[in-house]
Amino acid sequence: MEDCWLIFGFMDTPDKKPEQKRTKIEVHSAWMFDCDGCGRENFIRGVRRETVENGGDRVDLYVLYPREVSCKFCTKKFETELSS
**How do the domains of the chain map onto residue ranges?**
30-79
Which DSSP symbol is given to 40?
-
Distance CA 21, CA 13 (A): 20
Q: Give the pLDDT band of residue 1 (cuts 50, 70, 90).
A: very low
Query: Which pLDDT value is given to residue 57?
Result: 92
Q: What pTM value is reported for the model? A: 0.55
- For the stretch 26-39, pLDDT in tens is 888 889 999 999 99
Which DSSP symbol is given to 69?
E
How distant, in Å, are the alpha carbons of 15, 23, 65, 67 from that of 82?
Answer: 53, 35, 9, 10
